[in-house]
Chain A
C-alpha cells in the first residue's frame, strides 16, 4: 500500500507540473465580475467561466465572483452552469463583466440519440431515456452498467455477485427468453459490439441512451428485442480545450449486515454431541466436551475476507481547432478484491478524432484499446466448486492455523466423527490457485460523411472490434477448490484463449427537408457485419513440478477439456426510416429493417422488422398555449416487431461430433485408439429469430417551466418463436430439437419523475422512477405445457409467470407418532420429527416426480416492482447526492441450505439449526427436523427442494452517497478543482435472511444468459463490498 500511494503522488505531480506550465503562459487582461441567476438574482457559485477559443477558465466562488485572465480585451467570455443556458458576453475592453444566467427552459430542444441518428427530444415518438454519465462520475464502480443502477425506468440492473468487474445483469422491460440470450444490444458510437461491455472504461463515456420500445429499436431488427443501449463516448467539443484529471482511492470491505450466522466451534460441537445422543450412539471424544472449543473458533468464511483498496485514475484531454476536434482519455483502475486472492485491474486509452476536410466532408476516427486483468480463485459456485461456499460450511473446529501459527494444509477427522470429506485450507486455495483472465480489447470506428447539399448526408462507416481473452488456471498439488481432496492432490491446468474479430460496414443516407409546415427526414442504409471467434482450450493435469505449469510438464492431456472452437456468423441488412411532422406537433415515424443472417435456417434466411409510431404535442395546440403551468404535454404511441437472434451460430445444422453430451465418441480396440464420431444434433432448416411484437403508449408532461417533468409508459409485448431445445425422447439417440416455439407475454408500467425542488444557491433536484414488469407464459410447444429448470428447482408453466420456484410445500415436522400416523408420508422415509410435506394431489402419499408428483409452485423470483430515487443538492461550492434503488416482491431460492442445514452433521450449520426437532417434548421451532435416522430421513428435508428454501428478497439499497466540495481559491491554477467522498453500497434494508446480497442470482451452470430457466438462486456468491472512496477532480 505504501508503495502505491507514492506512485499516485508522483503521477499527480507530473501531470500537475505539466499543466502548470501550460497555464502559466502569457497573461494580458484580468477580468472580474459576478454571476447571478436571472430568476431570483441570487449569486451563482461554481459557474464555469471560459475565455472563448482558449483553454483559460475560472469558476465563480461562493458569492458568485470570478476572476479570469484573458489574452486581450476583445475576448468573449462563456458562462456555463448546469440547468442554465450558456451565455456568451464579449469583453469589449471592460475589466468587469457581470452575467445573469437564465434557467434552461429550452431543454426540450435538446437533441437525443436515436438509432442511426439524432432527433430533437420533444419530437421523439418512441420510449427513449438518456443518462448523462458525467453526473454519475463520482460513483466508485468500474462497470458502466453498475453506474446506471436506479437511473432508468423499466431497466432492471442487478448485481448478482460482488466479484470485481463482473456480475451485473441488465434486463430491459423484463425481457427474457427460454434459451436465447436476453442481454440488451450494446452499441458503442454506432457499432453493435460483440465483446464484453465491462471492458469499457466509464470515464470515456459521455452519455448512455436506452431504447426501450419497438419504434426506437426496430432499426436494429433481429437484434433489438432485448432493447438497445446506445453508448456515446466523449468527443471533442467546438471551441473548448479542456484537461481533466480525476483520481479516487478507497477502501472496500464486506459489511456485517446479512452475513450468514453459522455455528461457532462450541455450538457446532454441542450440535454434534446432541446428534449422537439423540441417535443413541456413543459421542466421539472430540465432541464430548464442547466447552473445550471456547476461544478456539475457526470462522473460515470471515478468514477468507479482507479489506481491500481500490484506486481509479483518469486523464481526459479534449481540444479543438477550427477543423480538428479531438478527445483523449486514459484510465487506470486497480481494484483488489475483498476475497483473498482476487483482484481486477484495467488499463484503457481512447482517442476520438474528427477532421473537416472541407465544408462538405468530415472524417473521423475513434480508437480505444483496453486491457483488463481479472483474478478470481474460483470464489463462486456450489459446494465443491466455489471456495467461499466450501469455507462457509467447513467445520469451525477444524483449525485454520497450526499451533506454530502456520496454516494447516487440510483437515479431516476420523469417519466416526461424521466427517466424510477432507477439507483443504481454503485460505491456501485462494492464494495458491491461479485463475486469471486477461482481456485485450481494441474497439475502433472510422467514418466519412459527405454533405453535398443542404439537408443531405451520406455517411459510410467501418468499425472493427478485436477482442482477445486469455484464461489461465492452475491448481497446484498443495491447493484445491474441490472438497474431499486431501493435500497433496493432483495438479491441473486450463488454458483458454478466445480471439474474436467483428467488423461492420454501414452506409447511410439521410435527407431532411421542410416544405411549408411539413417536415420530413428520410434515412436509408445498408450494412454488413461479420463475426468470428477462434477458441483454443487446453486442459492438462499431473504436472511433474508445480513450479512449471507448462504443457510440456503435464503427464495427461484431458481430451474432454481440450478443443478448438470456431464460431462465425454474418449479418446483411437494409433499413430505412421516415420521420415526418406537421407544424412540429403532429409527429409520425415509420421504420423497417430487413436482416439476413447466417444463423437462420436455409429455408428462413431473411426477417423483416417494421415499426410505426406517432406523437402529438398537445401543449402546442392553441387551446393550451395559454397554460402557464404546462410547458410540455405530449402523448405518443408506437407499435413494432423486433427480433432476438441470440440463437447460436450453427443451431440449424445436424452436426457430427467427436464429443457428445460431454462424452467422447472415440473407442479403443485392444490397445489401439480409434477415432470416433456420431451425429450429435437434429437439423432444422426453418430455424429463425425470436419475434417480439411490442405496443407502447406514453405521456410526457413538463410543468412550471420544466421544474417538474413526468414520463409515463405502458407497454405490452408478445415474444413468440422462442428458441427452445425441445426435449425429444432419447429413443431417437438425441437430446433435443431446436425450434422456434411458444409465446410469452410481457406488460408493464413505467413512471419517471424529475423535479427541480429548489433553484439558485441551494439547488435540489430529485429524479425517481418506478417500474412494474410482468410476464406470463402463454404457450410452449405442442404437447408441452411445462418446462423444468436445469436442476428441477424451477418450473415454467403455461398460464404462469416464467421460471417460478417449484418444490414441495411443507408444514413443519411430524410432531409425534399420532401426527405421523394420521398424515401422508414419504414411504419408508418419514419418521417422527422429520419434515412434514403436504400431499398436494391428495393420494395419501408424498411423492416427488412422476405421475403422482406432490410439488407445486413455491415462489416467484420476479419483483412486483423496482424503483430508484436520486437526490442531488448543490449548495454553494458543496454538492451532495444520494442514489437509492429497490425491488419489491421478488423471492430467492436459498439453495445453500442443502449444505448449511445438513442435519447429518456433515457440514457446519446455520446457528438456527439449534432450534430443530429433538424429541416429542422438545420439538423445536418446527423449521428443522430430527437428525435421527440418517440420510434416508434427513435427505428429504434438504434434497427435496421445498418452500422453506424460498425467502422474500425485497430490498431498498442506499446505493451511493457522494459529497463534494469545489475549492474556490484555486482558479488561478485550475478551471475547477473539486474534492469528494463517495460511499457505495451504504446500507441495504431487507428482510432477506439467506445471505448478504438480496440481488444474488447464481445460475450455477455458469452460462449467464443461458440460465434463464433458473433465476434467483442463492449459493452464497462473492459478497458485494461497501466502498468508501475519496477523490479529486481537476480541470485545467
Chain B
C-alpha cells in the first residue's frame, strides 16, 4: 500500500510539473503578443499593408472604375460560358436587391480595401507603444495613415456608406459595425490624410515606391476636389507643384512604368508596385485586358514571352469607339494609349481589336508581369490644379497648368469652355487609369453619360465587340446606379445592412 501512495504522489508531482508543457507557441508563425515590438516588425507590418493593392489593381478596380465607364467595354467571346461578374459591371446589369449584390468583383474589392484598413489599424494601434527610432516611426505611421485614408476614399466613392473601423478587431463581437455616412467617412479621410502629410518624407527622401508627403497631399487634394473644396485643394496641389519633386516626363509614353524599368519615375506620385517572377508580387492585369480567344503566338508577339499560352474566357477593359474618338487630331497620347492587335480565332468581325497600350511591356513569363499601375501622376496634379483654379474663377492661372499637359501631348491651346476642356483633358490624359468613373460620378454625369452610352451599345452591338447578329445582353444597362451595392456576402454577416 505504501508503494501505491508513493506512486500516486509521484504522479501528482509529474502532473503539476507538466503544466508548463501545455503551453506551446507556434514555431512556424509569429503571434500577436510577441510581434509589433521592433522597427523591423513594424516595417514588415507596413509592407504587408501595401500588399492588397496588388490584387485590387489587378482586376477589381480597373473593372469597377474604368470598365464601368464609357472608356472601355467587355469583349464578349460567344464560344465561352458567361462570366457574369465582369460583364454585369460593363453592362450596368448587376443584380442589386435591397442595396446588396452577389457580384464577385464587388466582394473582392471590398475585401481588399478592408485588408488594407485592418493592417493599417494594427500598425496605428500599437506603434505608439513601441520604442524605436522616431523618424522611422513617423514614416511608418504616415504610410499607414495614407493607406487607410486611401482605402476609405475608394470605399466611400464606390459605396457611399460603409462600416468604419479605426482599431484592430479582436473578437467576433467587434467585427461588424454599423454603416458610417459619407460625411463621417470623409471627415476621417481628411483627418488621416492631413495627419499623414507632415509624417511622410519628400519623394527624394523616401524609398522609391513608398508613399510620400507629395502622395498624401495629392490624395488630400483629390478628396477636396470630390467635396468641391476648391481652395483647400489648390493649397495642397500648389505644395506638390512647388516641392520641385515632380515633373512631366518629356514623352507621354515614358510616364508609364516598364516591366522592370522606369518605375516611380519623376512624373510618378504614387503607383502600385509589382515585380515579375514567382514570388507572388507579379501583376497579370494586361492579360485581363485582352480580347479572347487569343492564340499563343499572338500573345507572344504582343509581350515577347517565351512560354506564351493561348487564352480563353472573356475579354475585359477593351477601349471603346467613344474613347478613341475623344482624342483630338494630332494628340500623341492616342498612339501612346491604344494599339490594335489581331486575333485570328475571334468571332468578332475581322478580329482586330483596340487594346490598352499603356501597360503593354515586354516581359518573360506568361501571365506574370512587373508593370506598375499608376495611381497618381504629376500630370493629374496639374489637371487637378487647373480644375481647382478654374472653379475659383482663376482661369488664367488654370490655363498655364492645362497647357503644360497639352503641350506634351503635341497639342496647342484648348478650345471652348475651360471647365469642359479640363474635363475632356482628364479623360484622354488619364484614360485607363481608373479615373473616368469617379470623374463622371463627382461631376454628376454618371447616369446620363452611361445611359447614352448604353443606348449606343444596344443599338450598335457590333461596334461594341459583339459578333455580327449577337445583340447586347437582355439586361444590359438596366441598372445604372451611382453607387455600387454592398457585397451580399458581407450583408449576410453584418446585421447592420
Q: Which residues of A contact B (CB under 8 A)?
A: 414-416, 418, 420-422, 452, 458, 484-486, 489-490, 507, 509, 524, 526, 528, 530, 541-542, 556-560, 563-566, 568-570, 572, 574, 596-598, 602, 605, 649-650, 653-657, 663-680, 682-684, 726-734, 737, 739, 783, 827-829, 847, 849-852, 904, 934-936, 938-939, 943
Contacts and interface: CB of A to CB of B under 8 A. Distances in A.
A730 B490 contact: yes
Contact of A679 (B32, B80, B97, B495): B32
Contact of B21 (A542, A598, A666, A783): A598
A904 B312 CA distance: 14
B110 to A, nearest CB: 7
Contacts of A421: 312
A49 B57 CA distance: 82
B32 A936 contact: no
Contact of A574 (B11, B19, B31, B277): B11
A847 B97 CA distance: 11
Contact of A560 (B8, B45, B273, B280): B280
A560 B368 CA distance: 15
Interface string B1-16: 0011001100100110
Interface stretch (B166-174, B388-396, B400-408): B166-174
A528 B97 contact: no
A850 B100 contact: yes
Contacts of B119: 678-679, 733
Interface string B380-418: 000000000000000000000000000000000000000
Contacts of A556: 277-278
A602 B20 CA distance: 11
Given A559-B279, A654-B32, A731-B177, A678 B49 contact: yes
Given A558-B278, A655-B31, A732-B114, A670 B15 contact: no
Interface in B135-172: 162-163, 165, 168-172
Interface string B51-93: 1100100000000000000000000001111100000000001
B115 interface: yes
Contact of B81 (A664, A684, A851, A943): A943
**Which of B32, B55, B170 counts the most chain A CB atoms within 10 A?**
B32
Contacts of B462: none
B118 A733 contact: yes
Given A655-B26, A938-B81, 15 more contacts: A530-B21, A541-B278, A596-B19, A656-B31, A665-B44, A666-B47, A668-B274, A669-B273, A676-B51, A677-B44, A677-B48, A679-B122, A730-B111, A733-B121, A935-B80
Interface of B: 3-4, 7-8, 11, 14-15, 18-19, 21-32, 35, 41, 43-45, 47-52, 55, 78-82, 93, 95, 97-98, 100-102, 110-111, 114-115, 117-119, 121-122, 162-163, 165, 168-172, 174-177, 207-210, 260, 263-264, 273-275, 277-281, 293, 296, 307, 309-310, 312, 345, 473-475, 488-490, 493-495
Nearest to A683: B32
B35 to A, nearest CB: 4
Contact of B278 (A485, A489, A559, A850): A559
A679 B55 CA distance: 18
Contact of B47 (A484, A542, A675): A675
Contacts of B23: 598, 602
A572 B118 contact: no
Nearest to A662: B280
Contact of B102 (A682, A729, A732, A849): A849
Contacts of B41: 677
B47 A665 contact: yes
A737 B493 CA distance: 12
Contacts of A737: 171-172, 175
Nearest to B111: A730
Contacts of B488: 849-851
A730 B114 contact: yes
A664 B51 CA distance: 7
**Which of A564, A605, A668, A727 counts the most chain B CB atoms within 10 A?**
A668
B274 to A, nearest CB: 7
Given A574-B15, A733-B119, A485 B281 contact: no
B169 A486 contact: no
12 contacts: A524-B11, A566-B28, A570-B24, A663-B55, A664-B280, A666-B281, A669-B210, A671-B260, A729-B175, A729-B490, A828-B475, A829-B474
A566 B26 CA distance: 7
Nearest to A669: B209
B493 A729 contact: yes
A528 B21 contact: yes
A420 B78 CA distance: 11
Nearest to B177: A731
B112 to A, nearest CB: 9
Given A678-B45, A935-B80, A667 B493 contact: no
A730 to B, nearest CB: 5
Nearest to A452: B3
Contacts of B45: 676-678
Contacts of B163: 729, 731
Nearest to B21: A570
Contacts of B493: 727-729
A728 to B, nearest CB: 4
Contacts of B102: 849-850
A682 B495 contact: no
A422 B44 CA distance: 42
A656 B35 contact: yes
B293 A783 contact: no
A230 B260 CA distance: 61
B485 to A, nearest CB: 10
A843 B309 CA distance: 45
A528 B7 CA distance: 16
Contact of A568 (B27, B93, B172, B207): B27
A490 B307 contact: yes
10 A-B pairs with the lowest CB-CB distances in the bound complex, closest first? A733-B118, A935-B81, A669-B209, A415-B345, A828-B474, A676-B47, A665-B48, A676-B48, A556-B278, A732-B169
Given A676-B48, A728-B172, A731-B175, A670 B207 contact: yes
Contacts of A458: 3, 7
Given A452-B3, A734-B175, A667 B51 contact: yes
B54 to A, nearest CB: 8
**Which of A415, A452, A489 counts the most chain B CB atoms within 10 A?**
A415
B273 A572 contact: no
A265 to B, nearest CB: 21
Nearest to A904: B81
Contact of B14 (A526, A649, A847): A526
Contact of B44 (A418, A676, A733): A676
B93 A828 contact: yes
Contact of A653 (B22, B25, B473): B25
B264 A670 contact: yes
Nearest to B274: A668
A368 B93 CA distance: 65
A530 B177 CA distance: 42
A746 B82 CA distance: 43
A393 to B, nearest CB: 15
Nearest to B208: A670
Nearest to A558: B278
Nearest to A728: B175
B21 to A, nearest CB: 5
Contacts of A422: 310
A851 B100 contact: yes
A650 B279 contact: no
Contacts of A414: 345
A824 B75 CA distance: 30
Contacts of B49: 678
Contacts of A680: 29
A668 B281 contact: yes
B296 A653 contact: no
**Which of A422, A560, A656 counts the most chain B CB atoms within 10 A?**
A656
Given A668-B275, A675-B44, A679-B168, A732 B118 contact: yes
